[in-house]
Structure 1
Amino acid sequence: IMREQPSVVLGVAHTVVKRMSPFVRQIDFALDWMEVEAGRAVYRQGDKSDCAYIVLNGRLRSVIRMDDGKKHLTGEYGRGDLIGVVEALTHQPRATTVHAVRDSELAKLPEGALTSIKRKFPQVVTRLIHLLGKKILGNLQQGGHPLGLHSSSSKWDAGNPASNLSMVAIIPVSEEVPLTAFTLELKHALSAVGKKCLHVTASWEIRVAWLFREVWPGSCQYIHEYRLTSWLGQQEDIHRIVLYQADSTLTPWTQRCIRQADCILIVGLGDQEPTVGELEKMLENTAVRAQKQLILLHKEDGPLPSRTVEWLNMRSWCSAHLHLHCPRRVFSKRSLPKLIEMYERVFQKPPDRHSDFSRLARVLTGNAIALVLGGGGARGCSQVGIIRAMIEAGIPIDMIGGTSIGAFMSALYAEERSFNQMRIKARQWATVNNSMKTILDLTYPITSMFSGTSFNHSINNIFKDKQIEDLWIPYFTITTDITASAMRVHTDGSLWRYVRASMSLSGYMPPLCDPKDGHLLMDGGYINNLPADVARSMGAKVVIAIDVGSRDETDLTNYGDCLSGWWLLWKRWNPLAQKVKVLNLEEIQTRLAYVCCVRQLEMVKNSEYCEYIRPPIDRYRTLDFGKFDEICEVGYQHGKTVFNVWSRSGVLDNMLRDRQETCKSKTEVSNVTYPTTSFTDLAEIVSRIEPVKAPVADDESDYQTEYEEEVLDNQKDDYIDFASTQIEDDSDSDEEMQIRRRVNLPKAEGQAGSTGEPG
């Protein structure tokens, strides 16, 4: 039409421009569209700030150089994100260096245009301040960097680096990798996360290029390239995620896939010898800044993952890895037409949300769900029952980790992926630790009461020589480094050693010497007993945190300014004397050791991304491992109750819903003048400015949607019946208050002002 009837197109363009306000036309004139090649810097740390940038297409990465010369990643930005606005508004030098991860298209908003907008429309500045405030508050919890504004936000999405991936390239390690079947299987899994997913192969490029030659014959190669690039950009607009399946060699199509990718999946076969493919070697020599992940495929009847360390040591450029347990159809020997025909039938059925491919889909789209298990001795046996309830409720686990006993239980599940096997091994270990054999491990108490030999043997018998990298589910554990006075997060290395280190209670077990650097490692509970923040920093959208720690008694006796031990001794020995509650020396030292942990726990409980669960296990002591079955059943019954409430209140649906769909639904019902935080079309935002209105009440919480009052009443009664059988004289525990707060349970008569201790 443009070539044959240019007057028609010009007439339409003239009509559109006439409908714009003069100010919008000025802003459009001031905007400068620019293209940045992959690897090129948009600006560098210390440069003068004279503009802001809007990401129209592509992906940018922000890095800050510290005083010691080390570089730290501060964020990644995709379509619709605004970067550099903080420095431009405050006239400060650039605080970070921003470069293009892939070929990107930006709109440059000069400082003068920002100043003009501020003067004519102060509501825009108010909106920017609101967004910056939310970003800064989120970074206080997440440790991010408030120098860029993401185009969408949600209570579970702030600061998630993988939340805006849109282009994923898939390359094979060798020609034996069933790449087409893998990509189709991943596309099927992605259909449960976001319905719009496109699978692009080299044949697409040929067909689109042929179409362009037929429609625009005689055009030069450059125009074909431009139109193909534009078409691929349109696919990014239309689809939630685009999968680029590369060739097995470095063809022009493979180069395009790599150049367009936000993330590159390197797919290999787990049962083959660790090796680096020829394509990877060529990839290493190019300046590809997209994040790279190693994916190892395993057959259903194949051996367990092993030698993953060798795979990773050959690939220093890989930032993460996953083991995928593949169905038989992935490795079936079929021709391409028959393979596509088979997967057309597969696409008719919903994917299994517990499959490893579904886990990969959630990781790529920023919807991963993490399970974090806290420390608490034998009370941690309840975590086994809660995991069983999670599986029955259909809640997937994409990442798992913990501290102390939580490190042990989470490692069992990450290794087995089966509740039954996990329970058998956990019960076996609890039985051993409850036996009299542990007394034989007593030693002269210079460093600790026990030498650790028996304890080490019991853990080593469970995990053998398993490495953390060989676990099915991404795993981490927390220890306290008393050499460096710091928290250590372990995601690689000997599994049993770091589990043992995370369970090394001071006074009972000696510190474990880290084989990597010789540092002394102690129980992670001293520094972070419920590390939900660590799981969040590793990319989880939602963190389900299970707290089984002991409760500190706060109803203590006020004995005045001084205290006599003889007076305490008399009070305790005299049966007629009034009992007093005074901490002994050991209890005071223990509370001092856990001061940092208590503060961290409160931050986790108050965070928006975390779903906090505490089963009613306070009546069990730290060393009650002989009551494994009883404690496990308490956790199971409590988990069933909580997850049933979540299911009825819509919490589970919100967890599994794609972040972009969540933001879209919120936009449709929003009453705010600016329904989204997108800056992709700034002209539209400015043109829609309205006078300041009265404050609008906040939308209902995600936990308060589609939940009938009578259902709430019934579920609350079920929970109260269960809680009353577990805890005497505590009909309104903090756990009930916690669930009531989460799902807005109506309070029963006579309970309006009651408070209590968590279950």
Structure 2
Amino acid sequence: MTQMRHLAGVEMDDTPIGYILGAGLFVIGVGIVSLILYKIQGRQLETPVPDSQRLLTQRIPPKIHIKETCAYKEIKKRKRKILCVKTRIRQARWESPPVRHADASPPLLLKSPTEQMTPGLPPEVLYTMKSIRVLGHFERPLFLALCQYVVYEHYHPGSLVFCPGQTDSSIYIVLEGRLELSITDPDGTRHYMKSVGPGDNVHSLLSILDVLTGHQRPYRTVTAEAVEKSTLLRLPVEAFSAIFRSYPQSLVRTVQIIALRLQRVTFLALHHYLGLTIELFQHELQEETSPQPVPSRRPPLSRSKTHDDGADISAASSTPHKRAPSLRLCRSASFSVQKSASSSGFWRSLDCELEQAHPTLSPEKSTTPSTPSSTNFYPVDSNDKDRQEKMGKLLGKGKNDLARLMGLEDVSLLDNRVSLHHVKADTVIARQGEQGVGLHFVVSGCLHVYQGVTGRQDSRIFVTVPGEMIGQLTVLTGEPLIFTVRAFQDSSFLCLNRTDFYQIIRSHPNVLLAVAHSVARRVSPFVRQVDFAIDWIGVEAGKELYSKGDPSDCTYITLNGRLRSVIIHPDGRKSVVGEYGRGQLIGMVEALTNNPRAKSVFAVRDSELAKVPVGALSYIKRKYPQVVTRLIHILSQKIIGNLQKPEGVFSDPGSLTSNLCTVCVLPCSNNVPLTAFTLELKHALDAIGPTLVLTSDIIRARLGAYAMESTHECQLSNWLAQQEDLHRIVLYQTEFTLTPWTIRSIRQADCILVIGLGDEEPTLGILEKFFEQCHVRALKQLVLLHRTDGPPPSGTVRWLKERTWISGHFHIQAPKRVFMQRPTHKIHEFYNKVHQKNANRHSDFSRLARTLTGNSIALVLGGGGARGFAHVGMIKALEEAGIPIDMVGGTSIGALVGGIYAEHRNSKQTNDRTSKWAQMMSSLLRTVMDLTYPISSLLSGSAFNAILQDIFGEREIQDLWLPYFSITTDISSSSMRVHREGCLWRYVRASASYTPYLPPLCDPRDSHLLLDGCYVNNLPADVAHSFGARTVLAIDVGLQKDWDTWNYGDTLSGWWLLWNRLNPWSEKIKVPDMAELQSRLSYVSCVRQLEQVKLSGYCEYLSPPVQRFSTTDFHRFQEIHDVGYEYGKLIFTEWHRGDVIKKMLEDRSAPDFYDRQEGGAETVPGFTDLAEIVSRIEPAANQKLIADRKMKENVPIINKIEPSELSTACETDEEKTFRMHQEKTLNCDGKSHWIEN
């Protein structure tokens, strides 16, 4: 790349030799004259000493002479200091004060200090509150009452805390020492599961559920042994029964949280990540045994040999089995029901069912049947009275059995609430991932349950026969269905929807315990074993998960939240390695390789994780070897992801936006149009994926006035996590003051947008000061709003100086509708109409939306001298093709053109400014006047600086509309420099300082010498990708690497080459001149990087045919521009035909989100607080109507959300009429989630 040859204003390979010699003589003459003038000036500055003074000096003693010499040196030192001060003042005028980068800011890279424990509470209370997450919703009085039952126990090394055969009815919390948890095989082999240290606990939530439901079980295979002298806190689970008599709502909430943990933690870890399916459930339910006498807590000296996981241990377990009250099945009979091929066969089988109450069944082994095209239910023939009567009897018998199974004494509670359904064989009743599935009770036939794993065929996990329920877990938790239900044969079942189920629970809370017990009976003994090892932990925002060098004893699965990994370099520097969002694994490679932690990880926001110990993982691998294949798949995906990352050392915190789920919108002042901004951003985000806006009013309207209280923390977190599953981005709009909702929004956010007005003073707001007082580690971005008729951005440096915790900034030119003063409900009404139209992909809000979702498009312009005028033509073709640009970067001439485009965002103004610059550079007189004595360079650089100052003025890089960067070569540190802040013209000048024509630019920040960036990275597409760009349009106008040379031997004579060129009859040979050698030399260090960029998946490499132009052809601007424009039109037309541009604008940065949507879930799950249903006192109908009307007049309602079960469970006819009237106003276009009444 020889683009700096233009600075001499001559063509070195085309100009006559006379001109070259003349210029050389002129330079030599100027040098001689300068040297003579320097000598003359130096003599004039020397002051002659009179002879009398010289003689007097000679007579002075030597000591006096030394004193005068020291005084003279002091004067010289003072002069030097004054000169340094003058230089600094001069540099301060040239350059604005530096702004500290956010990636070096401790609040982003460091963990929060350890929080002090709450004073005034007993230590057992503190340990219990900290250790057992399922009890985290308890109020303080309940905790204090519960801790009265806590018992201190001391164990010596080697003593057993519990072992198989003892009653599993306590929770153990380690105060001091260490325990070892192990599993005992039937042959007596013990397998290490995990180590339990101080602050940790040992318990199984399934065992707690058994005790609460009255089905206490002994330990079967789990043993806990003290490996050190240990002090434990033991909390008997029986204490819950006594406490819950006074707090019935806590009982219901505890059961619900246990069910939630079972689905979201245990099943997620074992199924989604380890690929286990049939191993998680019992294929057929085991008949329950009679209650057993409680053995002593101390293990006997000798005990019988342990059997399989599901087998009983002691001799007492051999008592006769007792059937469940509602299960009247004769499983020993060898009777098989065949599939019916016709409707008549179904009715004949129905007659038999009615006579026998329940058919006996032996399920046959079968493969997964093919999925039917649709779900067809048998219609009931109203003309056939006999059949109607038989159906009524079948319904009655089914209700009686269901009532006994649910523990209902009054069967009439099921009247008008359950419905009888008949389906043909192979009918899909419910699919995996569906929302709103109710409770199903099989009356006749057989239902098979299947579970799918990515890349594998669905596996049948268990069979449901008459007398059994299905769908209990999803009804209890409100989570999507985790399996698919299909009829194996013609079947009949009762269906109880969620609303009716919640009505029954309100009047009879014990029903919840019966349903929860049926869930516990279905899980396999293997799940019960692993449940002791897998922990459900919560990490508060800013708290550390683990530090570098810690032992790798477990793997973490992110359930919800966001965590950041930071690596500490040997020199003490800290840099961000990555961020982990929902569903991602943390620390798995280190755990499997048994290496210490290589980096530190802390929570960006409040997060929930599943902790899987290495010992438990090893046990699972030995028990089910197929898990190894799944682990290899996960590791290979991680390795491939690491290989695709650029090798550069540049990692910007603002680039970690590929997996954002939640964004907090926070105002700097009360003048910010916060509601309009949020809705405008939502409009742009809807074009990428479904977006939800949440405010405090919406939360109150949707979840109730007490949803944000501490007792509802788990349910609220669960509901918010469900919104993350159903939406690509969730926007949390804060209030203008520091309210509980504002704090919740900040702690819930992956990224915080701080919104300010560009024409206001950059003073810190009330909410911003909160950042400095608390430990907020989320990514923080500054967004400055500008009016369309206002001035361009300026003074951004002042905003950033006041906010050193900002990671990046955006300038948004907002439309006039954003600044219009309207009431809140009028703003919502107006934007309902706006959301019906497509968003402008070229708007600044769309650019912000693409950046937040990790779908931004970057334009990278390479160096090449005058050939870079093709960049201007390519930009014009990009605009005509409708391709938006979100980031601009470049090297050399690319830095110049990119800076102009980032300032104006318009191809016409870019063309005008670049054309003006080309005319100035074509001036021979301007170049000759800039010649200097060639010690460091041929030119002084003053002429080139003046041209750039005329083009850019004193504009800062931070004031550009588009994010911009330029590349330079730092010869002081022998490294590449990326410039994203500072004076624009200076770093464009540095990026174009091609040696030997221009001298290096002295960076005013650190005095390093900067040269042309082409020496290290002529096409910095990898830098743009590291800054978060998903697609990079890289335009290369440099020289091609393939070229032919002539073998001239070991020596080369310049006179011979000159004669060869002048002689028309000699053979033409190709030997590079000094300028071409310099250009080729500049490509040596970056040719490998260029090849990697071409092969990368994120880069669209474009190379206009400009090789025939010289780097100094500045007078051929229009010709080179047209070449780039025609090339761009041809390329982008082909892209349109091949849907390249369409795919470029699609959201591909969140594959996990779209994988979750394949389940077909379209409804938004409700906030189902069963404890609220049990304990709520319903207000009078007229009072509730008045309150609802007041709320609906001022609060926007979320579209596509079914009426809450909480408000409709016991509504009156008047309330139902009012609600139906409100539902008619819903906007069902599928785009907007806001409605107005």
Q: Name the structure 1 match of 2:645.
A: 139
State the Cα distance separating 1:172 from its structure 2 match. 0.8
Matched, 1:237 2:725: yes
Alignment partner of 1:73 is 2:576: yes
In structure 2, do the counterparts of structure 1 residues 117 and 561 end up closer, same or farther at CA, with 3 Å as the change threshold? farther
Shift of 1:223: 2.8
Structure 1 equivalent of residue 1176 of structure 2:
none
- One-letter amino acid of the counterpart of residue 542, structure 2: G
- Contact 2:664–2:753, Cα closer than 8 Å, also in 1: yes
Greater Cα shift, 612-621 or 159-168: 159-168
SS in structure 2 at match of 1:199: strand
Distance 1:266 1:653, change over 3 A: same
CA distance in 2, matches of 1:502, 1:599: 20
Amino acid at match of 1:282: F
My pick for the range that moved more, 70-79 or 233-242, is 233-242
Show the 5 A alignment for 1:591-606: 591-606=1080-1095
Q: Which residue of 2 aligns with 1:58?
A: 561
- Asked whether the equivalents of residues 74 and 144 of structure 1 are also in contact (C-alpha less than 8 Å), the reply is no
Q: C-alpha displacement at 1:560, in angstroms?
A: 4.2
Pair 221,258 (structure 1): closer, same or farther in 2 beyond 3 Å:
closer
Paired residue for 1:719? Answer: none
Q: Deviations over 1:643-682 (max 9, x none)?
A: 111222122122111125667779999xxxxxxxxxxxxx
Letter in 2 for 1:131: Q
- Specify whether residues 499 and 655 from structure 1 end up closer, same or farther in structure 2 by C-alpha distance, changes over 3 A only: same
Partner of 1:340: 828
Tell me, in whole angstroms, the C-alpha distance in 1 between the residues paired with 2:1035 and 2:1155.
29
Q: Which AA in structure 2 matches 1:463?
A: F
Per the TM alignment, residue 571 of structure 1 is displaced from its structure 2 partner at its CA by: 3.8
The one-letter amino acid paired with 1:364 is L
Which amino acid is 2:600 matched to? T
1:490: which partner in 2? 979
**In the alignment, structure 1 residue 383 sits paired with structure 2 residue 878:** no
Q: Structure 1's 46 and 211: CA in aligned 2 closer, same or farther, altered over 3 A?
A: same
Taking the TM superposition and a 5 Å limit, the aligned residue runs for 1:375-524 are 375-436=863-924, 437-524=926-1013
1:432 Cα deviation from its structure 2 partner: 1.1
Matched to 1:483, the amino acid is: S
Residue 538 of structure 1: aligned partner: 1027
Q: Does 1:125 align with 2:619?
A: no
Looking at structure 1, the residues matched to 657 and 600 of structure 2 have their Cα atoms a distance apart, in angstroms, of: 20
CA shift for structure 1 position 17 = 6.4
C-alpha separation in 2, matches of 1:389 and 1:575: 43
Separation of aligned partners in 2, 1:311 and 1:109: 45
Mapping for residues 339-738 of structure 1, pairs under 5 Å: 339-436=827-924, 437-565=926-1054, 567-660=1056-1149
Between Structure 1 and Structure 2, whose CA radius of gyration is higher?
2
Could you tell me which residue of structure 1 aligns to residue 546 of structure 2?
A: 43
| Residue 773 of structure 2: aligned partner | 285
Question: Which of 162, 174, 177 is matched with 2:657 structurally?
Answer: 162
Deviates more, 1:577-586 or 1:432-441: 577-586
Paired with 2:672 and 2:1041, the residues of 1 have a C-alpha distance of 55
Gapped regions of structure 2 (runs ≥ 5) = 1-501, 1159-1237
State the Cα distance separating 1:118 from its structure 2 match: 3.5
Distance change in 2, residues 1:660/1:129 (3 Å): closer
1:133 and 1:58 mapped to 2: Cα distance?
24
Is residue 2:709 matched to residue 1:206?
Answer: no
* 1:627 shift after superposition: 1.1
Contact 2:854 2:1149 in 1 (8 A): no
Map 1:174-185; keep pairs closer than 5 Å.
174-185=669-680
Name the CA shift for 1:661/1:537 in 2 (closer, same or farther; >3 Å).
Answer: closer
1:89 matched to 2:592: yes
Q: 1:42 to 1:446 in 2, by over 3 A?
A: same
Q: State how far apart, in whole Å, the 2-side matches of 1:651 and 1:14 are.
A: 54
C-alpha deviation, 1:434, in angstroms: 1.1
Preserved CA contact (<8 Å) 2:784 2:811: yes
Conserved 8 A contact 2:854-2:1030:
yes
Q: 1:139 aligns to what SS in structure 2?
A: coil
Letter in 1 for 2:933: Y
Sort the Cα spacing of 1:642 and 1:289 in 2 relative to 1 into closer, same or farther, 3 A: same
> Residues 365 and 494 from structure 1, CA distance in 2 versus in 1: closer, same or farther, beyond 3 angstroms?
same
Is the CA contact (8 Å cut-off) linking 2:753 and 2:782 kept in structure 1? yes
Change (3 A) 1:142 1:12: farther
Matches of 2:523 and 2:1050 in 1, distance apart?
76
Q: 1:101 to 1:548 in 2, by over 3 A?
A: same
Q: Is the 1:171–1:266 Cα contact (8 Å) retained in structure 2?
A: yes
Post-superposition offset of 1:28 = 5.3
Q: Distance in 1 between matches of 2:736 and 2:688?
A: 28
Equivalence for 2:66: none
Question: Which deviations, in whole Å up to 9, do the C-alpha atoms of 1:345-382 show, x marking residues without a partner?
Answer: 10011110000000111111111110000000111111
Q: How far apart, in 1, do the equivalents of 2:1041 and 2:846 lie? A: 41
TM-score (norm 1): 0.82
Deviations 1:418-462 (A, max 9, x none): 111111111111111112232222222222122111111111001
| C-alpha distance in 2 between matches for 1:47 and 1:139 | 26
Q: Is the 8 A contact 2:650 2:1023 kept in 1?
A: no
Query: CA 1:586–1:286 in 2, change beyond 3 Å: closer, same or farther?
Result: same
Does the Cα contact within 8 Å between 1:142 and 1:533 map onto a contact in 2? yes
Give me the identity figure in percent.
Answer: 56
Q: Secondary structure at the match of 2:602?
A: strand
Indicate how the Cα distance of structure 1 residues 616 and 237 shifts in structure 2: closer, same or farther if over 3 A, else same.
same
Letter of the structure 2 residue corresponding to residue 491 of structure 1: R
Matched, 1:263 2:757: no
SS at match of 1:247: coil
In structure 1, what residue type is equivalent to 2:588? Answer: V
What is the letter of the counterpart of residue 751 of structure 2?
A: C
Name which of structure 1's ranges 46-55 and 233-242 shifts more when overlaid on structure 2: 233-242
Structure 1 pair 561/103, CA: closer, same or farther in 2 (3 Å)?
same
Any idea what the Cα deviations from partners look like across 1:617-641, whole Å, max 9, x if unmatched? 1111101111111111111111111
Distance in structure 2 (CA, Å) of the matches to 1:15 and 1:631: 77
Q: What corresponds to 2:736 in structure 1?
A: 248
Residue identity matched to 1:123: T
SS in 2 for 1:594: helix
Structure 1 position 136, deviation (Å): 3.1
Deviations 1:202-228, CA, capped at 9 Å, x for gaps = 112322452768xxxxxx953333322
Structure 1 432/586 Cα, relative in aligned 2: closer, same or farther at 3 Å? closer
Which TM-score applies when normalising by structure 2?
A: 0.51
The aligned amino acid for 2:1123 is: V
Cα 1:16–1:634, aligned 2, differ >3 Å: closer, same or farther?
farther
Note if contact 2:650-2:1026 (Cα within 8 Å) is conserved in structure 1. Answer: no
Q: Report how far residue 126 of structure 1 moved.
A: 2.6
Structure 1 residues 405-414 or 11-20, which shifts more?
A: 11-20
Q: Distance in 2 between matches of 1:493 and 1:142?
A: 22
Deviation at 1:33, TM superposition (A): 1.2
Gap change, CA 1:160 and 1:409, over 3 Å in 2? same
SS, match of residue 858 in structure 2: strand
The equivalent position to 2:800 in structure 1, one of 312, 317, 324, is 312
Query: Aligned in 2, Cα 1:211/1:255: closer, same or farther, shift over 3 Å?
Result: closer
- CA 1:22–1:542: 2 relative to 1, 3 Å: farther
Q: Deviations over 1:29-75 (max 9, x none)?
A: 53211111111111111100000000010000001111111111100
Query: CA offsets per residue over residues 90-113 of structure 1, 9 Å max, x none?
Result: 101101110000010101111023
Distance 2:648 2:1128 in 1: 28
Cα distance in 2, alignment partners of residues 665 and 257 from structure 1? 25
SS of 1:62 mapped into structure 2: strand
Q: Return the letter of the residue paired with 2:629.
A: Q
